[in-house]
Amino acid sequence: MLQPLIANLQSREAVIGIVGLGYVGLPLVLRFSEVGFRVLGFDIDQSRVESLIAGTSYIKHVSSTAIAEARQRGFTPTVDFNRAAEADALIICVPTPLNRYRDPDLSFVLNTMETLLPHLREGQLISLESTTYPGTTDEELRTRIEAKGFQVGDDVFLVYSPEREDPGNRQFSTRSIPKICGGTTPNCLQAGVALYQQVIDQVVPVSSTRVAELTKLLENIHRAVNIGLVNEMKIVADRMDIDIHEVIRAAATKPFGFAPYYPGPGLGGHCIPIDPFYLRWKAREYGLRTRFIELAGEVNAAMPDYVVSKVMQALNLRGQAIKGASVLILGIAYKKNVDDMRESPAVVLMEKLRSMGAAVAYSDPHIPRFPSLRNDHFDMHSIELCPQTLSTYDCVLLTTDHDQFNYEMIRDNARLIVDTRGRYTESHCHIIKA
């Protein structure tokens, strides 16, 4: 089974199935299609599938032109999971959020696997790309596959290859970002490497799926811990009347032993705020507590409260209470220049400000209307920025520093600016750094 699969992949005659057509899955669709594979895209969201059939993208950094070209090359989006049997390789790219107790929620992965199981056949490769804790691929996916009578490593091949997408970063693409791949067995690893070598410049094989799973967690927890450090430093620097951004710029001139990380209003995105909880949960199974990681998480989680306190102080200095104040949020995406709102700290800030009696509005050129997220409902659309509009708000709170904003116009017309991103380097009496 192994050699025919590898030959099929290397000749690019294999059919590739991508399960989950979001920020991770859709770029993979385009890359596999670009090099000549026939691609099936599976999603449970009918509206997504209809958009793709029409050649229209719903993700800002993925162009509709690219979707239309992939469609012309044979890319087929579908909600019909019965077609999974047509695929020689199935790549699972579904969310792995937290539940209400901040523990791992594998329901999307497990439900996807249960949906695929009736359609699995000998000779297929299954790759999980969703971020998760070490042991998931072996303990959850392998056991389910083998319960159906397949022998993993002989009949069916199973790998874990964590996604490394960075939406909005034009410096790196799906092709150029090195790809970690761990196999359940040596045969599985061979199959996984053969799959990804067709579309990725550098594939990095590791000894097991558990190594690959922990590698992904380390990458993101490394970032979360360092952001927690610089967020705490920001609070200390602010109390000392020192500009932390000037400090970071100065420290970054050191050519060794220092990497700059930047503070903000909290952590956002699907991975960085969530991955520490996946490791914490798994570490408990071994009687361990990840104290250092948990402390960084506490610091980052407290940042929205710190920002709200800065808004309150800034308004109080002008003789105004936060109750009844009008606050314009600049940027509600979790990072600059994208339309991704997953775990955005801006949403937390909007909730907190509204609960304290502030009238909240937002402006984000990448998100024209506020979508429904979990239980957070703001029936509003993005405000178009102009001098007259800016001057009507008591406070402008910069939470996501999109390049598209006209910062000079904002500076010259806003009554009060609370800057959480260090965008304004000059000193102005109406600009408060938070």
Q: Do residues 91 and 18 make contact, with C-beta atoms less than 8 angstroms apart?
A: yes
For domain 208-301, the question of CATH label 3.40.50.720 is answered with: yes
**Which residue do the tokens 């790809």 mark?**
179
Residue 427: band (very low, low, confident or very high) from pLDDT cuts 50, 70, 90: confident
Mean pLDDT of 198-210: 98
| Topology (CATH level 3) of domain 302-434 | Rossmann fold (3.40.50)
Active site residues: 271
- Residue 106 scores a pLDDT above 90: yes
The percent of the chain in helix, strand and coil, each rounded to the nearest 5, is: 40, 15, 45
Predicted pLDDT of residue 9: 97
* pLDDT for residue 317 is more than 70: yes
E-assigned strands of 122-199? 125-128, 157-160, 179-183
pLDDT band at 373 (very low <50, low <70, confident <90, very high): low
Residue 47: which H helix or E strand, with range?
A: helix 46-53
pLDDT digits (tens, 9 = 90+) for 327-341: 999 999 999 999 989
Q: Which residue has the tokens 């506020």?
A: 370
Query: In this predicted structure, what is the pLDDT of residue 235?
Result: 96
In sequence order, the 6+-apart residues with CB closer than 8 A to the CB of 359 are: 324, 325, 326, 327
Q: What is the rounded end-to-end Cα distance, in angstroms, of the chain?
A: 59
More confidently predicted of 301 and 374: 301
Taking the CA of residue 392 as centre, how many other CA atoms within 13 Å lie in the half-sphere pointing to its CB? 10
pLDDT in tens, 111-167: 999 999 999 999 999 999 999 999 999 999 999 999 999 999 999 999 999 999 877
Question: Angle, nearest 10°, between helix axes 209-239 and 291-301?
Answer: 50
What average pLDDT is seen over the chain?
94
pLDDT band at 311 (very low <50, low <70, confident <90, very high): very high
Six token digits for residue 173: 């693409």
Between strands 157-160 and 179-183, the pairing is antiparallel
The answer, yes or no, to whether residue 239 has pLDDT greater than 70, is yes
Task: Give the whole-angstrom CA distance, residue 17 versus residue 83.
Answer: 9
Over residues 291-318, mean pLDDT: 95
Q: Which two tokens stand for residue 10?
A: 């290397």
- pLDDT tier at 60, thresholds 50, 70, 90: confident
Q: Is the pLDDT of residue 17 over 50?
A: yes
What distance in Å separates the CA atoms of residue 78 and residue 85, rounded to the nearest whole number? 13
| Structure tokens that stand for 114 in this block | 């249960």
Give the separation between CA 6 and CA 252, rounded to whole angstroms.
46
C-alpha 18/C-alpha 180 separation (Å) is 18
Of the candidate ranges 22-36, 147-161, 265-279, the one whose mean pLDDT is the lowest: 265-279
272 pLDDT tier (thresholds 50, 70, 90): confident
Per DSSP, what are the bridge partners of residue 203? 179
Q: Where in the chain is the domain with CATH 3.40.50.720?
A: 2-206, 208-301, 302-434
Whether the predicted pLDDT of 375 surpasses 60: no
**Which pLDDT band holds residue 189 (cuts at 50, 70, 90)?**
very high
| 374 pLDDT more than 60 | no
User: Which residues pair with residue 360 across a beta bridge?
Assistant: 327
Q: Please give the Cα distance from 37 to 305 (Å, whole number).
A: 49
Q: Report the predicted TM-score, pTM, of the whole model to 2 decimal places.
A: 0.92
Distance CA 92, CA 76 (A): 16
DSSP run (H or E) holding 64 = helix 64-72
pLDDT band at 378 (very low <50, low <70, confident <90, very high): confident
CATH number for region 2-206: 3.40.50.720
